[in-house]
């Protein structure tokens, strides 16, 4: 029941049977402990499609700077995309020897230390926290995901919110193509659009957005000068009073080591998030606490 093959089977059967059909399927499959919502099933199916198109680290050769930055990390670090690989999948890949959570600190000895994992996407858990708890009702609202990569924020927004338009802006053409493939296959075209573009050319999109999402968007992909320029562009153009900005990590942390003219206290007010409202099992509270929400003043 927990394999992705059966998730896909349920997705396709649900499309033809509707919600009553889904109920009977759920009874037949007898899910233990929790009922998997149909939207979770669709997102897991999308993740499976994308896993099949990407190398295991979900990085592309075209991402020179990001690859170089990972190699420069003080601790040995691997890319594990949290949207594509949840803990159960990582465990099963480790069992098969295809992935490791540890590295040998003294060659030939049995001493090992845990590897640092870096994800370039939100996990399913983070997406649900974002749309079901952190953000208000998005009916009729425009959301922009800056650096949409695999499209996790857009697909999550399509399934878990009523946002009228979800725009992804991604500078890497290969990732734009992957997002387009999913948008077409899952028929998200009515509300999701991806622009192959540098966000610094999208002033009017930012000016009209009701919600802007920025998950670790610049740090690994731009040099410090470019990061400073990009943050200034965002802060100059995201000015609609009352619009919302979601960042990982906090704005303070993102810009603290950059030379910018941004005065946070005049631009935004942080909205405190209640990380305890999210009661699903397997929550990674540390990851949730990295999510920050701001209101534009
Ligand atoms: C960490 S990923 C974010 C993934 C996605 N938003 C999510 O939360 O699942 C950051 C992405 O931002 C893209 N990016 C970085 N700088 C950008 C820029 N100036 N304009 C557009 N995309 C950018 C990178 O290519 C990368 O794919």
Q: What is the mean pLDDT of residues 258-282?
A: 89
Mutate to test the pocket of ligand 1, among 149, 214, 223 (most ligand atoms within 8 A of CB): 149
Taking Cα atoms as reference points, which of 4, 11, 117, 9 lies closest to residue 51?
4
Condensed to tens digits (0 to 9), the pLDDT of residues 218-259 reads 998 999 999 999 999 999 999 999 999 999 999 999 999 999
Question: Which of 88-92, 242-246, 268-272 has the weakest average pLDDT?
Answer: 88-92
Task: Specify the DSSP class assigned to residue 139.
Answer: B
Contact of 130 with 159, CB cutoff 8 Å: no
Task: Return the sign of the alpha-carbon dihedral for residues 236, 169, 189, 45.
Answer: negative
Structure confidence at residue 79 (pLDDT) = 80
Condensed to tens digits (0 to 9), the pLDDT of residues 69-84 reads 877 887 777 788 999 9
Structure confidence at residue 10 (pLDDT) = 40
Ligand 1 close to Cβ of residue 149 (< 6 A)? yes
Query: Residue 11 pLDDT more than 80?
Result: no
Contact of 48 with 186, CB cutoff 8 Å: no
Q: What is the mean pLDDT of residues 6-27?
A: 46
Contact of 84 with 122, CB cutoff 8 Å: no
How many Cβ atoms sit within 10 Å of the Cβ of residue 14? 18
Residue ranges, comma separated, of all CATH 3.40.50.150 domains in the chain are: 124-296
The CATH architecture one would assign to domain 124-296 is 3-Layer(aba) Sandwich (3.40)
Please give the backbone phi and psi of residue 271, each rounded to the nearest 5 degrees, phi first: -100, 120
Looking at every residue in the chain, the average pLDDT score rounds to: 85
Ligand 1 close to Cβ of residue 183 (< 6 A)? no
Atom of ligand 1 nearest to the CA of 221: 15
């Amino acid at each position: 029941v927990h394999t992705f093959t059966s998730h896909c089977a349920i997705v396709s059967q649900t499309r033809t049977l509707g919600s009553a059909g889904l109920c009977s399927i759920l009874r037949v499959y007898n899910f233990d402990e929790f009922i998997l919502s149909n939207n979770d099933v669709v997102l897991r199916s999308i993740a499976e499609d994308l896993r099949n198109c990407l190398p295991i680290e979900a990085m592309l050769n075209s991402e020179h700077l990001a690859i170089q930055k990972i190699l420069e990390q003080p601790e040995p670090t691997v890319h594990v995309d949290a949207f594509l690989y949840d803990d159960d999948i990582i465990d099963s890949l480790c069992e098969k020897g295809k992935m490791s959570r540890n590295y040998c600190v003294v060659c030939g000895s049995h001493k090992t230390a845990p590897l640092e994992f870096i994800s370039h996407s939100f996990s399913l858990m983070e997406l649900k926290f974002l749309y079901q708890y952190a953000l208000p009702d998005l009916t009729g609202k425009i959301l922009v995901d800056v650096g949409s990569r695999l499209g996790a924020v857009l697909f999550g927004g399509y399934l878990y919110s009523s946002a009228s338009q979800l725009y992804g802006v991604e500078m890497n053409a290969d990732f734009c193509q992957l997002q387009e493939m999913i948008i077409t296959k899952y028929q998200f075209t009515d509300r999701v659009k991806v622009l192959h573009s540098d966000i610094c050319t999208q002033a009017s999109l930012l000016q009209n957005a009701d919600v802007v999402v920025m998950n670790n968007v610049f740090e690994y992909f731009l040099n410090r000068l470019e990061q400073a320029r990009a943050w200034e562009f965002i802060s100059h153009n995201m000015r609609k009073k009352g619009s919302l900005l979601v960042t990982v990590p906090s704005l303070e942390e993102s810009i603290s080591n950059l030379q910018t003219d941004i005065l946070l206290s005049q631009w935004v007010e942080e909205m405190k998030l209640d990380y305890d409202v999210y009661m699903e099992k397997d929550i990674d509270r540390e990851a949730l606490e990295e999510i920050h929400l701001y209101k534009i003043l």
